[in-house]
Amino acid sequence: MRRGLVWFTEDLRLDDNETLLKAIEENEEVLPVYFWTEHEQKPQFGIPRLGDTRKSFIQESLANLQQQLHAIGGSLLVLNGSPEDQITKLCKQFDIRKVYTKKQVGSEEKTSQIRVKERLLAIAVDFETYSSSTLFHPDDLPFSVRDIPLLFTKFRKLAEKESVVRSPFNPPERITVPPFEEVIMARTLSSKPTWLQGGEDHALERLHHFIWEHQAIKTYKETRDQLSGLDCSTKFSAWLSQGCISPRRIYSEIKRFEHEVLANDSTYWVIFELLWRDFFRFSFKKYPKAYFQLHGLDQQALYTQFDPSKFEAWTQGKTSEALINAGMNELRETGFVSNRMRQILASYWVFGMQQDWRYGAAWFEHCLVDYDVASNWGNWAYIAGVGNDNRGGREFNIEKQAQLFDKDGAYRAQWLTS
Ligand SMILES: Cc1cc2nc3c(=O)[nH]c(=O)nc-3n(C[C@H](O)[C@H](O)[C@H](O)COP(=O)(O)OP(=O)(O)OC[C@H]3O[C@@H](n4cnc5c(N)ncnc54)[C@H](O)[C@@H]3O)c2cc1C
């Protein structure tokens, strides 16, 4: 009996999942496994990594993946603890020949993957990784990841000119799994909004709503900077972060919409933003550690100090700026703030409060429901002036931002009263 193991990480879906498809294709039975590593994750700068909104989103996504696998004849084994400690035991117990998983981008996750690979090699189990989280497949880029341009525009122009986005794979129709006892997923209570439900089903519903039902994609470029409003931007980020949906599936639906209904600047702009996501992911592969360091990509950080009382004021929404307090309250309570608000909040921590940017990034990592290692640390480094930019960072004038994006004060009123 040929048996494989699929180690799910941030690819909690059946659709466009090459890792899963390959495992099913090459084996008679496949064991789908997810390792819950919360307790192995050490706090950074004293801040716990995983906040309740993301925790509950991941739990929902896993429960949905279990249901999806049931529907095609399978199930999902969720184990507490690190893969390093458990995978060899599992492979021996189930007589696994090969382990399949998604390629990782964060440095800690990569290190864990290398350790797992070494342990598997020692017991003669094969190990294969797949790139399944970006729009462009890394093999299709016109440069090697080592030579990725420092600036986004250069990356985008080259990638768009020379590469083609691959078609997404269809989901598998059937899976056969060895017998094991499935555990019902725990649920953490959180205050995240009701529209932010984890899982592939919700991701595909959101995609359908945004593109086809509401057709909000037609005006995305004009509305994406608004501070609130469900359909002003796609809200795909949390599902993308846990891999409940693939960027290639989003791309193929946009292309279909452009072909059948309308193609304009707005429809293109969603793809443009997905390219920012790709850009940070590929840049992370080039610089796996630099984005976590004060001076980032070998530049000079302007502010190096950390004042705990300023941190308390910023995180708890008790600064002298109403717009900042509103944004920090929304972030703490819901796990989500718009892109514009993220820029304003980050800029205020770095330039307004003149603090070490990494504490801000770590707080976002704790709070964000859509936390993604490359997008979070890459954007923070960019704003702080130590990332993929040569303009010394992005300082936002809070008063001007409030005038532009919250002229009537509705956003502040909403988040300052709660
Ligand atoms: C300081 C800071 C921290 C951030 N941290 C994260 C994070 O941890 N996880 C995360 O997914 N995004 C992060 N972003 C990027 C961006 O703010 C969010 O992706 C976006 O606000 C999510 O809302 P949306 O899905 O409606 O985005 P849309 O505007 O609808 O964009 C579509 C998709 O494009 C991608 N995208 C958009 N803008 C960016 C960007 N600037 N960088 C990378 N990808 C982008 C996202 O996947 C997003 O879902 C951060 C931005 C800043 C300024």
The domain that holds 400 is classified in CATH as 1.10.579.10
**Mean pLDDT of all residues in 7-26:** 98
Separation of CA 340 and ligand 1 centre (Å): 10
Which CATH number do you get for residue 258? 1.25.40.80
Mutate to test the pocket of ligand 1, among 231, 276, 339 (most ligand atoms within 8 A of CB): 339
Q: What's 107-160 look like in SS3? A: HHHHHHHHHHHHHHHHCCCEEEEECCCCCCCHHHCCCCHHHCCCCHHHHHHHHH
Q: Which is higher by pLDDT, 184 or 224?
A: 224
Type of residue found at 52 = D
- Alpha-carbon span 348 to 170, nearest angstrom: 44
Separation of CA 95 and ligand 1 centre (Å): 41
Residues 222, 317 within the same domain: no
Mutate to test the pocket of ligand 1, among 225, 370, 383 (most ligand atoms within 8 A of CB): 370
**Model pLDDT, residue 151:** 96
Separation of CA 13 and ligand 1 centre (Å): 20
* Sheet with 77-80: strands ordered across: 77-80, 29-36, 3-8, 98-102, 126-130
Residues 269, 306 within the same domain: no
- Alpha-carbon span 224 to 275, nearest angstrom: 16
368 lines ligand 1 (CB under 6 A): yes
Query: Is 403 within a domain?
Result: yes
Which CATH number do you get for residue 15? 3.40.50.620
278 lines ligand 1 (CB under 6 A): no
Query: Is 280 within a domain?
Result: yes
Residues 104, 223 within the same domain: no
Query: Is 194 within a domain?
Result: no
- Alpha-carbon span 244 to 355, nearest angstrom: 35
Q: Which domain holds residue 334?
A: 290-417
**Model pLDDT, residue 253:** 98
- Alpha-carbon span 319 to 308, nearest angstrom: 13
Query: Is 233 within a domain?
Result: yes
Residues 254, 204 within the same domain: yes
Domain end point (choices 132, 150, 167): 132
Least confident of 189-198, 221-230, 373-382: 189-198
Query: Of all atoms in ligand 1, which is nearest to the CA of residue 247?
Result: 47
What would the pLDDT profile of 147-191 be if each residue is shown by its tens digit?
999 999 999 999 999 999 999 999 999 999 999 998 888 889 899
**Model pLDDT, residue 152:** 97
Separation of CA 317 and ligand 1 centre (Å): 22
Residues 268, 372 within the same domain: no
What would the pLDDT profile of 93-110 be if each residue is shown by its tens digit?
999 999 999 999 888 888
Residues 274, 340 within the same domain: no
Residues 363, 383 within the same domain: yes
SS3 51: coil
Residues 35, 97 within the same domain: yes
Residues 276, 295 within the same domain: no
Share of the chain above pLDDT 90, in %: 92
Residues 13, 127 within the same domain: yes
Query: Is 164 within a domain?
Result: no
Whole-number average pLDDT of the chain = 96
Question: Residue 259 has which token pair?
Answer: 């072909």
98 lines ligand 1 (CB under 6 A): no
Residues 260, 306 within the same domain: no
User: Does the structure show a pLDDT above 80 at 324?
Assistant: yes
Beta-sheet pairing, 29-36 with 3-8: parallel
User: Does the structure show a pLDDT above 90 at 337?
Assistant: yes
What would the pLDDT profile of 26-50 be if each residue is shown by its tens digit?
999 999 999 999 888 899 999 999 9
Domain end point (choices 256, 286, 316): 286
- Alpha-carbon span 14 to 20, nearest angstrom: 7
Separation of CA 101 and ligand 1 centre (Å): 25
Residues 276, 308 within the same domain: no
Band the pLDDT of 410: cuts 50, 70, 90. Answer: very high
Ligand 1, atom 29, residue with closest C-alpha: 233
**Model pLDDT, residue 418:** 54
**Model pLDDT, residue 271:** 98
Separation of CA 337 and ligand 1 centre (Å): 10
Domain end point (choices 286, 306, 332): 286
Query: Is 108 within a domain?
Result: yes
Query: Is 144 within a domain?
Result: no
Count of domains in the chain?
3
Ligand 1, atom 31, residue with closest C-alpha: 273
Query: Of all atoms in ligand 1, which is nearest to the CA of residue 237?
Result: 49
Query: Of all atoms in ligand 1, which is nearest to the CA of residue 376?
Result: 5
Give the burial class of 225: count Cβ atoms within 10 A of its Cβ; 0-12 exposed, 13-18 middle, 19 or more buried: middle
Ligand 1, atom 16, residue with closest C-alpha: 339
379 lines ligand 1 (CB under 6 A): yes
User: Does the structure show a pLDDT above 60 at 225?
Assistant: yes
Separation of CA 187 and ligand 1 centre (Å): 26
75 lines ligand 1 (CB under 6 A): no
299 lines ligand 1 (CB under 6 A): no
Separation of CA 147 and ligand 1 centre (Å): 24
240 lines ligand 1 (CB under 6 A): yes
Band the pLDDT of 51: cuts 50, 70, 90. Answer: very high
376 lines ligand 1 (CB under 6 A): yes
Query: Is 138 within a domain?
Result: no
CB 10 within 8 A of CB 102: yes
